[in-house]
Amino acid sequence: MDRDVVYDVLIVGGGLAGLTAALHLSKFDIKVLLLEQNQYPNHKVCGEYISNEVIAYLKWLGLDPFSIGAVEITEFEISAQSGQTLRTTLPLGGFGISRYTLDHSLHNLASNQLEVRQECATDISLNARDYFEVETQKGSSYLAKYVLGAFGKRSRLDKRLGRKFIDRKSPWLAVKAHYQYDFPDNLVALHNFEGGYCGLSMVEDQKVNACYLVTYNSFKDCNDINTFQEEVMSRNKHLRHFFNNAKPLFEKPLTISQISFEPKNAVEDHILMVGDSAGLIHPLCGNGMSMAIHGAKIVSELLIDAFRESLERAAVERQYQVSWKRAFGQRLRTGRLIQRLLLNPSTSDIGFRVAQRFPGLVQGVIKRTHGDIISV
Predicted confidence at residue 2, as pLDDT, reads 52
Contacts of 269 by beta carbon, 8 Å cutoff, 6+ apart = 124, 125, 126, 161
Strands (E), the chain: 6-12, 32-35, 49-51, 71-79, 85-96, 115-117, 121-126, 132-136, 141-149, 172-180, 187-193, 196-203, 207-215, 247-248, 254-257, 267-268, 271-273
- 227 CB-near residues (< 8 Å, 6+ apart): none
Mean pLDDT estimate for the chain: 92
Asked if residue 285 has pLDDT above 90, the reply is: no
pLDDT score at 221: 86
What are the tens digits of pLDDT across the range 235-251? 999 999 999 999 999 99
DSSP string, 195-225: TEEEEEEEEGGGEEEEEEEEEHHHHTTSSSH
**What stretch of H or E contains 292?**
helix 288-309
For 97-122, what is each residue's pLDDT tens digit? 999 999 999 999 999 999 999 999 99
| Rounded Cα gap, residues 70 and 66, in angstroms | 5
- pLDDT score, position 330: 85
79-95 tens-digit pLDDT: 988 888 889 999 899 99
Task: Look at 13-17, 253-257, 283-287 and tell me which has the smallest mean pLDDT.
Answer: 283-287
* Cβ-proximal residues to 96 (8 Å cutoff; 6+ apart), any chain: 48, 49, 50, 70, 71, 73, 188, 201, 202, 203, 204, 209
The answer for residues whose C-beta is within 8 angstroms of residue 261's C-beta and 6 or more apart is 170, 172, 280, 281, 282, 335, 336, 339
> Does residue 1 register a pLDDT over 80?
no
Has residue 54 got a pLDDT over 50? yes
Q: What's the distance, CA 83 to chain centroid?
A: 27
pTM: 0.93
Kindly state the average pLDDT of the residues 207-233. Answer: 93
Residue 78 has pLDDT above 80, yes or no: yes
- CATH numbers and ranges of domains, the chain: 6-50+96-168+260-339 (3.50.50.60)
pLDDT of residue 359: 67
Label each residue of 228-265 as H, E or C. Answer: HHHHCHHHCHHHHHHHHHCEECCCCCEEEECCCCCCCC
Q: Please check the confidence at residue 178 and state whether its pLDDT lies above 50.
A: yes
- The phi and psi torsions of 17 (rounded to 5 degrees) equal -65, -45
Query: Any idea which of 57-61, 203-207, 213-217, 266-270 has the lowest mean pLDDT?
Result: 213-217
